[in-house]
A and B are shown apart, each in its own frame.
Chain A
């Protein structure tokens, strides 16, 4: 079995608001294996983006890591590393393409300058190397390097910009890429093109990917393993084939039924009653119980333990816990 590249242990991230603390990520355990594509799926407010930002310690000032560890390659604890250590990890070891990054390109800079600037900021001054590497990556992403490098961001389409961002993220040869909703703002055909490119890129470079999205169909299409998040917690983790075929957590089951998709009967699709809990004062016990069709007394009192149903298939639910 491949080793774990990244291990998140008991991670707790809080955002300060005037009413108290938003428990955005609460006691999360999650591992990313070397060379895999891990899909993280969740609705808005599930904590998936916060998790991504916490890994690289790019959280906004109002947030803090209150507890837990983020081990990279089993040695460095990113949750407690000093800034200079983090600088060596960001972009060189782990790169992040944040959500809505299409607007992150500087409109006054040519694409080539984005590559040069990024390299310079990380202490790489070899102009020739940067342009060669950028050209190689852009062609791998099926863009014409000469033309694209000379362009300004406004001269590129959304799909092209997204590919430029992927190339930028891979510039310094990172081991891992975190992509937060990379295809959300794109049209159907562009989304398909980017998904296929990412699969191709993964096959060619074996780069580890953490792919974050609200769209469960995208996870089914691209990921090896998946984690389902809800209200700051990981509810279920497993191989995508297993989780889609036999989802065990009531939330995963409900989420899959709530997607108006092209397959399956429309009669069986339904929304999940109720709304996301208030994360300043989350319900005691399991965070899904107020919306769960199987809620029992214990769910309202005690947090469910995480149990391994089959090797690698983890569920946090009292229905599956041995009491």
Chain B
């Protein structure tokens, strides 16, 4: 094993958003991310899943430097991203790229595909002359399956379908050969029949260029597909914390944390017999506690069907229950 620091490491990350309470009240904080640790190496796939408001998007945005953390550290190749020199910071911004959810608003409508894709190439000195740019952009378009490239080079976003636009967004993200791509719900707005195509495209880049992914989604099926095929991990978030992490199929088929178990019992599956036979694990309450004032102890205790008195007092640590499969739950630790 080399002693090279990981590509990205997150230690005890906290991100609190201030909100004003009433007219005279002081400031309260929404604890969007509240104590998260994770490590990403080259070529790793880390999939964050959770319901809306769990903090998964905030965590992703903080890791790529779009949101300033309240506490904790984000280390890029061992160095805190807030303490990078100007040159190191530029390198970090180049090596960490983003794919957003909405391919309709993440492309400039007044620019052609060629203009959009040649900008980062010029910016980073990868290609300069028009001929080189056309060649390189065409290469990128072929790589993301927009073929023949000549048909797409001079099109505007409105002339492309949603799936084609998302491919342009992917092409833009990979144009600078990044080491890590943060993809936040990249297939949510894509037609059902084309979703796996986009995921396969991202996985292909992982295989070819050893690109690492931080993949964020609310869709457990998509998380399973991406992590299982890419040999990665699924992490389940609840109220700002990771409650379970493990290999894709283990988390989906044999979840440890009660929250994951409840979710898995609730997701409909495309098989009428199976879907209707599923026994829903009943929650104590449907209401998600406010992230401004999360419950003491385990954050899930107010809804957990298995909660014990201890869960209301002490916060469970994230421990390795099975091989490479961690959970933060008092059912597994004493």
Contacts and interface: CB of A to CB of B under 8 A. Distances in A.
Chains A and B belong together in one complex: yes
A260 interface: yes
A319 interface: no
B142 to A, nearest CB: 16
Contacts of A267: 229
Given A269-B196, A271-B196, A275-B163, A44 B271 contact: no
A20 B318 CA distance: 60
A217 interface: yes
A302 interface: no
B228 A220 contact: no
Interface stretch (A48-56, A251-259, A293-301): A251-259
Interface string A64-89: 00000000000000000000000000
Given A261-B221, A275-B163, A188 B269 contact: no
Given A217-B275, A260-B224, A262-B224, A271 B195 contact: yes
Interface in A27-56: 43-45
A270 B270 contact: no
Interface residues of A, number: 42
B280 interface: yes
B271 to A, nearest CB: 6
A220 B192 contact: no
B275 A260 contact: no
B280 A220 contact: no
A189 B286 contact: yes
A263 interface: yes
B270 A244 contact: yes
Contacts of A271: 193-197, 200
Nearest to B219: A260
Nearest to A273: B197
Interface in B250-291: 252, 262-264, 266-276, 280, 283, 286
Interface residues of B, number: 42
Contacts of B262: 189
Contacts of A269: 196, 225
A276 B162 CA distance: 11
Nearest to B194: A271
A200 interface: no
Interface in B31-81: 51-52
The listed residue with most B CB atoms (<10 A of its CB), out of A217, A220, A262, A270, is A262
Given A269-B225, A271-B193, A271-B200, A216 B270 contact: yes
B218 interface: yes
Interface in B211-230: 218-222, 224-226, 228-229
Contacts of B274: 263
Contacts of A258: 192-193, 195-196
Contact of B275 (A44, A221, A254, A256): A221
B140 to A, nearest CB: 20
B257 to A, nearest CB: 14
Nearest to A257: B196
Contact of B266 (A159, A191, A214, A254): A191
B204 to A, nearest CB: 13
Contact of A262 (B218, B221, B273): B221
A214 B286 contact: no
Nearest to B287: A157
Nearest to B51: A187
Given A43-B191, A188-B51, A266 B228 contact: yes
A191 B263 CA distance: 11
Contacts of B275: 217, 220-221
A105 B292 CA distance: 27
Given A43-B193, A269-B225, A276-B191, A263 B270 contact: yes
A216 B275 CA distance: 11
Interface in B161-204: 161, 163-164, 191-197, 199-200
A195 interface: yes
A129 interface: no
Interface string B2-30: 00000000000000000000000000000
Nearest to B226: A260
Interface in A109-168: 159
B193 A220 contact: no
Given A189-B283, A275-B161, A256 B270 contact: yes
A214 to B, nearest CB: 5
B281 to A, nearest CB: 10
Interface string B85-105: 000000000000000000000
Nearest to B162: A44
Contacts of A261: 221, 269-270
A262 B225 CA distance: 8
The listed residue with most B CB atoms (<10 A of its CB), out of A191, A196, A261, A267, is A261
A254 B193 contact: yes
A267 B271 CA distance: 18
Given A187-B218, A192-B266, A221-B276, 18 more contacts: A43-B192, A43-B193, A44-B191, A159-B286, A192-B280, A214-B192, A217-B267, A217-B275, A221-B268, A221-B275, A258-B192, A260-B195, A262-B220, A262-B224, A262-B252, A267-B229, A269-B225, A271-B196
Interface of A: 43-45, 159, 187-193, 195-196, 214-218, 220-222, 240-241, 244, 254-256, 258-263, 266-267, 269-273, 275-276
24 contacts: A43-B192, A187-B218, A188-B218, A188-B263, A189-B262, A189-B286, A190-B286, A192-B267, A192-B268, A215-B192, A216-B270, A217-B267, A256-B270, A258-B195, A260-B195, A260-B196, A260-B199, A260-B221, A262-B221, A262-B224, A263-B271, A266-B228, A271-B193, A271-B196
